[in-house]
Structure 1
Amino acid sequence: MTYPLNSSVKPYLITRRLHPENQETPIQFIKNDKIDHQLFYRRNHFSYPVLSYSNYWLPINGFVTTPRLFSMQDILRFPSKTIKVVLECSGNKRNLFEPKVFGEQWGKGAISQGYWKGVPLRTLLELSGIRKGAIEVVVEGYDFGKRTDLDGIYTYLRSLPIEKALHPDTIIAYEYNDQPIPFKHGHPFRLIVPQWYAMASVKWIKQISVIDSNFTGPFQSIDYVYYPNKDNNKNAFPVTTINVNSTIQSPLDLEVLNTGNHLIKGIAWTGRGVISKVKISTDNGESWANAKVDHQDKIGYGWVSWTYEWSVLEKGEYTIMAKATDSYNRTQPASPFWNRKGYGYNAIDIITVKVE
């Protein structure tokens, strides 16, 4: 559905599942680089946790010299930083895979971004004294529940390699867009891991543990793993860094247009470096032209907007394609890397329009 520009109707989240709640951002209606929390996509494995904030403490324990227990007030007093970060579900665009794969059938809207404020995880870890030989940092959320593939109750836990945990921009966030993080997005504290798919950005942090081994919980060793083969686990490897990607926001797929001038626009993002160029084809890939890419910061943790002016005088059906390239020379492929659980889709974005 499209809305007239003068309409008072506002976009709303697209529901993929109600229990647990999984909803995606109506990405075609996003006009800027800061998504209001009400339109920020929601990805949950379990029901929302029940928390009490009157006596909130964050433990840092495990392979450390001095286990610590930080109060909310402690964390708010530490030096903070604010960073613009895109969070993309690793299953974003899953419904585009061929052959089809099982899992939440996300369209193109399991992605959002905004400004996160918090304290570097490194600050808390260094105050706890990381012992020599530490390998990973495990972050546990308060959310838990049953899995369909395993017996028992499981809590959402993920680990980071010690180097990623100590990166100065891996933060324990407590604000989003200058307001406390909303409950449905991880209040009071959420881990933010720039450049990695969002499964790493654990919500509702319960505790943080340093370990001297490799973590093997189900959300690390079963889920969020690329399985290239349909029938076996050979050559599997973990999901980590975001692939270079782009999405056409306007026109909409299967939209009917008049002849004349049209502005094709969209977003592009990457987990390594920055976006260096975006190319557009309006003839099903027979020819390509450079889109105009908006200014982006040197860090590249967020998406960038791009536009292309298209003049079309002949009626007919047109296939419009967009492909982004980043500063590491990673370019969107013509076909995605198929994997059994449907992670990391980043093939050239394609829509079809009719001009009449």
Structure 2
Amino acid sequence: MSNQKHPSERPYLKTHSLQPENQETPIQFIENNHVHPKLFYRRNHFLFPQLSYSNYFLTINGYVQKPRVLSLQEIYQLPSKTIKVLLECSGNKRHFFKPKVFGEQWEKGAISQGYWTGVPLRNLLDKVGLRNGAKEVVIEGYDFGERSDLDHLYSFTRSLPLEKALHPDTLIAYEYNNEPIPFKHGYPLRLIVPQWYAMASVKWIKQITIIDKEFAGPFQSIDYVYYPNKDDNEGARPVTTINVNSTIQKPLNREILNTGKHTIKGIAWTGTGFVKKVEISTDNGDTWITANLENQDTHGYDWVNWSFEWDVTKKGEYTILSKATDSANRTQPKQPFWNRKGYGYNAIDTIHVKIE
């Protein structure tokens, strides 16, 4: 007998907007450690770009010794590597900030992961030769449009400091889970920047430009910046490294359960080192118990699955919490770092269940 689920039993993306398309992964129903492309969350600022793949070329120019224009075939022939990397939107869990903030009200599903195959960016930069004084690598995508705050057309463009651009695991990727990257996720080429929030992983790469100063495009200097204050920009700093975080996948929030044994399970991840420990509380934080980590390693680019067997005999309402700690001893806080654009939410995860 086939184990394939009937279409009505399969999970699907949760839609926040369609123009542009912003949809989140049903993370509570994800059982594999690599997310199927159809369930990979989608984050867009503009409509999908119009591309002609038959004459696609990647231009690398700017503060270099020898500018190059590379075809897809030339890139495919270069030595490649495959790495398992999670991508998390920096606005993941924005819905839970208090006071509320403006922006897409992502809940817990603006995160997905899988296997990315491509060429290290540093290998392409070696081909053009960086000039002395090169400071940042600017990656421009083909997606563009108007911004509500600026009277101009902009493409989605971001930069990386040289150190991050030259990291051996920063990839110009062309495959996801051993298949060409789906168009809606950046085909034919997208950047993959492990351990940084996914705004850095630019899709539909148009060109790469090396510059000798700080890049000041609006998706670098206005968006994806932590603004600690509601009414001024004092203390502003860029959004970069993923915060240590965890999500409870099971039970579901507000689920009604019977007395007896139940598995509490979820995922945990970090942008610094690796997840060292996950603790669970079933009494709203009065006591904590260490959960079982099922796929812990020191790589740190993907999430860790964790679980805890809960034997509950008393009826009533319960608050279940999860709290992750990474190898840099960063631990999820009780309260998130509030910022007015709602980035980097990583407070202790919380659900409520009723036992009958």
Q: TM-score normalized by structure 2?
A: 0.98
Q: Is there any run of 5+ residues in structure 2 with no aligned partner, and where? A: none
Aligned match of 2:275: 275
**Residue 222 (1) aligns with residue 254 (2):** no
Aligned match of 2:202: 202
Aligned match of 1:343: 343
1:270-309 equivalences under 5 Å are: 270-309=270-309
Aligned match of 2:247: 247
Q: Cα deviation per residue 1:284-343 (whole Å; 9 max; x = unaligned)?
A: 000000000012332110001000000000100000000000000000000000000000
**Residue 52 (1) aligns with residue 70 (2):** no
Count of aligned residue pairs for this structure pair: 352
Which amino acid letter does the alignment assign opposite residue 124 of structure 1?
L
Q: Cα deviation per residue 1:85-138 (whole Å; 9 max; x = unaligned)?
A: 000000000000000000000000000000000000000001100001100000
Which amino acid letter does the alignment assign opposite residue 131 of structure 2?
R
1:91-130 equivalences under 5 Å are: 91-130=91-130
1:1-356 equivalences under 5 Å are: 8-356=8-356
Which amino acid letter does the alignment assign opposite residue 67 of structure 1?
P
1:151 is paired with a residue whose SS is strand
Per the TM alignment, residue 8 of structure 1 is displaced from its structure 2 partner at its CA by 5.0
**Aligned-residue CA RMSD in angstroms?**
0.9
Which amino acid letter does the alignment assign opposite residue 18 of structure 1?
L
Q: Is there any run of 5+ residues in structure 1 with no aligned partner, and where? A: none
Per the TM alignment, residue 54 of structure 1 is displaced from its structure 2 partner at its CA by 0.3
* In 2: Cα distance, 1:254 partner to 1:138 partner: 45
Structure 1 residues 7 and 77: alpha-carbon distance in aligned structure 2, compared to 1, 3 A threshold: closer
Q: Cα deviation per residue 1:203-230 (whole Å; 9 max; x = unaligned)?
A: 0000000000000000000000000000
Which amino acid letter does the alignment assign opposite residue 22 of structure 1?
N
Which amino acid letter does the alignment assign opposite residue 222 of structure 1?
I
* In 1: Cα distance, 2:7 partner to 2:127 partner: 53
Which amino acid letter does the alignment assign opposite residue 77 of structure 1?
Q
* In 1: Cα distance, 2:142 partner to 2:156 partner: 7
* In 2: Cα distance, 1:233 partner to 1:7 partner: 48
* Greater than 2 Å deviation, 4+ residue runs: 5-8, 295-298
Which amino acid letter does the alignment assign opposite residue 203 of structure 1?
K
* In 1: Cα distance, 2:103 partner to 2:295 partner: 36
